[in-house]
Chains A and B, each alone.
Chain A
Amino acid sequence: MITETVRKNAVKVLFVDDEFIEFRALKKKIADLSEPAVEVEYSPSIGDALEKIRLARFDLILLDNRLLPNADFRETVPELRGIGFTGPIGVVSTDISGGYFQEFPDYGVDFRIGKDEIDAQTLQHIIREYVNYDVPDFWKDDYSI
């Protein structure tokens, strides 16, 4: 038996990027996305993102690979995981061709994607894959059964 997640509220996405214009571009690109409803919040730095995660629940984090001063996902994602965030994290970058990107699963990253590849369809896929995914009942934490 499959239990389907029935989502009543909008999917909450935290977009972390040191350039606000990227956030505006993202909002514009996903404006058509109505199913599921998505609420995107913006963080200009990893410090601000950590604060926001402590205060509110987010279903998904889209994280710019390079954040000031010079950190890439190998430093920033372990920080997010370190405070107990167990939701999906996607690394977004203009250029994802660097060899170190192949190691993304080892750093707690769920997926990587080019900035120009994000649109309503792709975000819909990401939400379906990482946020609203089904777990069969018998694979859940069923120690109490």
Chain B
Amino acid sequence: MNNAPAIPFHAGPELSRAINRTDFFRLLKSAAQHYNFDNFALARISEASAPFGERDIVITNVAERRVGLFITTLKEALGTVRAKSAQFLATPVHGRSVRPEDYRSDLVFNEFLSGVFLFIPLFTPEGRRYCLVLSGERQEPDQSEIADMLLDAMRIFDKLYEEILTQEMSGRLTQREQEIVKWTSEGKTSAEIAIILGLSEHTVNSHITAAARKLDAVNRVHMVAIALRNGLVT
């Protein structure tokens, strides 16, 4: 009889198979559930609106309209000092949000109140700072659980870096991006390129966004101009 504990979904083969943002959503959702948290948000640390603003969130399961409240409650749970110094944190911190005395639950419903928040700092090899925030109604995690969560978060983030973040930083266009820039240079719209290549408009727009970022272009026309000048399309 095999008594070995089953490998959780987020640490098993699906981790090595992850290639797009939805795959990472699946992994992070599974990791949050595994540790009895309800919500998660992977975000870039922001110096301007520490620890991060709504636009810095990379992947989350918090509903769009609840994100502002999620961040506000996170700041309360961590405390002002720790929240503002998030960019300097190297190890995970956690806290519980407390219901203010004058809080009127009939005025604003806040599902994050009274929940535990765990803030895990993450770093790319170039030193760019991200974090994974988990929240939920559960006990405060002990040190060994935090160590396990940190390891899991680092493994998922490492894969995300390899599959998505390095692609974003690389200056070289992929074959698909080159193909799409070429069709754009011929005056085709995203919808037309999607039909030509048998892709979704979403995929085409993602490739155009990535190519524009890599070429440091401000819009499509500029992107085509740079691509022509650099001989990327003829």
Give A residues with C-beta under 8 Å from B.
Answer: 35, 78, 81-82, 84, 86-90, 97, 101-102, 105, 107-108, 110-114, 117, 121-122, 124-126, 128-130, 133, 135, 138-143
Give the docked Cα–Cα distance between A114 and B202 (Å): 21
Closest to B189 in A: A141
Q: Can you identify 20 A-B contacts, CB atoms within 8 angstroms?
A: A35-B63, A35-B65, A78-B198, A86-B195, A87-B202, A101-B17, A102-B19, A108-B197, A108-B200, A110-B200, A110-B203, A112-B22, A122-B26, A129-B22, A133-B202, A133-B205, A138-B218, A138-B220, A141-B189, A143-B220
Give the docked Cα–Cα distance between A111 and B200 (Å): 11
Contact B63 A124 (CB under 8 A): yes
Contact A113 B22 (CB under 8 A): yes
Q: Which of B26, B205, B221 contacts A135 (CB 8 A)?
A: B205
Contact B199 A81 (CB under 8 A): yes
Give the docked Cα–Cα distance between A139 and B207 (Å): 11
Closest A-B pairs by Cβ, 10 of them: A111-B22, A86-B194, A81-B198, A138-B219, A141-B189, A86-B201, A108-B198, A88-B200, A130-B202, A121-B61
B190 at the interface (CB under 8 A from A): yes
Give the docked Cα–Cα distance between A126 and B20 (Å): 12
Give the docked Cα–Cα distance between A110 and B187 (Å): 24
Give the docked Cα–Cα distance between A102 and B23 (Å): 11
B35 at the interface (CB under 8 A from A): no
Give the docked Cα–Cα distance between A108 and B13 (Å): 24
Contact B219 A139 (CB under 8 A): yes
**Residues in A neighbouring B195, C-beta threshold 8 A:** 81, 84, 86
Q: Which of B186-234 contact A (CB under 8 A)?
A: 187, 189-191, 194-195, 197-203, 205, 208-209, 212, 218-221
Number of interface residues of B (CB under 8 A): 35
**Residues in B neighbouring A130, C-beta threshold 8 A:** 200, 202
B219 to chain A, nearest CB (A): 4
B138 at the interface (CB under 8 A from A): no
Q: Which of B25, B65, B200, B221 contacts A142 (CB 8 A)?
A: B221
**Residues in B neighbouring A107, C-beta threshold 8 A:** 198
B64 at the interface (CB under 8 A from A): yes
Q: Which of B120-179 contact A (CB under 8 A)?
A: none
**Residues in B neighbouring A113, C-beta threshold 8 A:** 22, 26
Query: A135-B205, A138-B219 are contacts. A111–B20 as well, Cβ < 8 Å?
Result: yes
Give the docked Cα–Cα distance between A130 and B20 (Å): 12
A49 to chain B, nearest CB (A): 15
B94 at the interface (CB under 8 A from A): no
B21 at the interface (CB under 8 A from A): yes
Contact A87 B200 (CB under 8 A): yes
B75 at the interface (CB under 8 A from A): no
Closest to A111 in B: B22
Closest to A143 in B: B187
Give the docked Cα–Cα distance between A130 and B21 (Å): 11
Contact B29 A122 (CB under 8 A): yes
